[in-house]
Amino acid sequence: MERRYFGTDGIRGTVGTSPIDPEFMMKLGWAAGRVLAREGEGKRKVVIGKDTRVSGYLFESALQAGLVAAGVDIRLLGPMPTPAIAYLTRTLHAKAGIVISASHNPFEDNGIKFFSHMGTKLPDEIEHEIEAEIDKPMTTVSSSELGRAARVHDAGGRYIEFCKSTIPLATEFRGLKVVVDCANGATYHVGPPVFKELGAHVVAIGNQPDGININLECGSTHPRLLQEKVLHEKADFGVAFDGDGDRVIMVDDKGEVVDGDELLFIIAESRRLKGELQGGVVGTLMTNFGLEQALQRNKVPFERANVGDRYVLESLKNNDWKIGGESSGHIICLDRTTTGDGICAALQVVNAMVDSGRTLHELKMGMRKYPQTMINVRVSEKPNINGNETIANAVKKVEDKLEGNGRVLLRPSGTEPVVRVMVEGNNPAEVSMLAKELAAEVEKALKK
């Protein structure tokens, strides 16, 4: 069934533009409440959390009104990371969790994402039912059946304790100095305390949200500030989250960025050495070829999923594997939690540092990143590159030149009128040249 509102990761858009407006949000809350209230006896309970965008308060109130009108009780978490909302949905025994966030996007955007009672993505059939209810006239249950709202005052503390529980109890970060960049987002009040309570000396930045500075020149999408601060403070490493806390990248003591592929390698390798790696590792079509080769050397199976955390999660579940992620730093450790969690992933990496007695820089050297060049080829309409003989021949020509020491990827964008042409290989100059040649061939073929 075709979706009208829900995308691959909830509903997202610019604030004030349908459907990201208060009228729709109230109707969405009502529709979700109606669907959830059908299942089982009595009132259902839903938790609502948000990041630090100023529009979050607007949509929180609108959703709350709709849910209450449908007869659903609400637990308000306030500003909390997306993975914290997934966790608290489970532990508070709620029927569902609602996240108000546009993740790494600027403050002008916002969105809604649902979690099931298990802290996982809401089943597709439930999303379809909610969309069907949105089209119906809104009604209100009798006054005696109205839902009630209450605030969960210890939500942050509960989540901090959960994060600490994802590494061994005896592990301490004493003697380590860390810079934590919270992207002026949802981790601002929980990220630094996690590292502090584990014994690290913490320098916090990006922890002064004002409603509009979320992700602004800071956090995982803009690591320059963190790099400078790590070097200035002579810190052992730095950690940067995105606005809703489900992504993480790190910076080593030399000021070098350690991206999601390298973090994924460090976590998987640590698990392997301790005999705790269950199966293989899932990356995406964009995962660096160097990760694939490093895992193969250690006889660890590797599989590529489509870009997007939902596809990584599907692949993990299909294979019954536990570790997967994306270059952007969205890392899933299913042996620790149910969804991508920036704080949890960072703790696994630091635990590997403590276990091995090695620095972050030394650990990342176990994987050699391949030079990568990507070129966007603009098109006038949605391209169909499958079955195009000219493009297929051009790709094969590049692959022959790489001689198995690299790879080629052509991927139409899902949001822009472009085809992404990516080439990886040993030699940066050769990779750049091959990417330009292939992009020119793709552009020529599509214009025909």
Residues known to be catalytic? 103
Cβ contact 194:347 at 8 Å: yes
Rounded Cα gap, residues 154 and 159, in angstroms: 9
Rounded Cα gap, residues 65 and 70, in angstroms: 9
Rounded Cα gap, residues 167 and 343, in angstroms: 11
Tell me the backbone φ, ψ of residue 218, rounded to 5 degrees: -155, 175
> Hey, what are 190's tokens?
């929980």
**Residue located via tokens 């959390």:** 49
Rounded Cα gap, residues 136 and 308, in angstroms: 32
> Hey, what are 55's tokens?
């529009």
- CB within 8 Å of 31: residues ≥ 6 apart: 66, 70, 130, 131, 133, 134, 136
Query: How do beta strands 201-205 and 177-181 pair?
Result: parallel
Tell me the backbone φ, ψ of residue 294, rounded to 5 degrees: -65, -40
303 strand-pairing partners: 282
Rounded Cα gap, residues 339 and 330, in angstroms: 9
279 strand-pairing partners: none
- Name the strand (E) or helix (H) holding 107: none
Cis peptide bond prior to 19, omega within 30° of 0: yes
> Hey, what are 375's tokens?
């070129």
* Burial (0-12, 13-18, 19+ Cβ within 10 Å), 374: middle
Cβ contact 211:181 at 8 Å: no
Rounded Cα gap, residues 203 and 200, in angstroms: 10
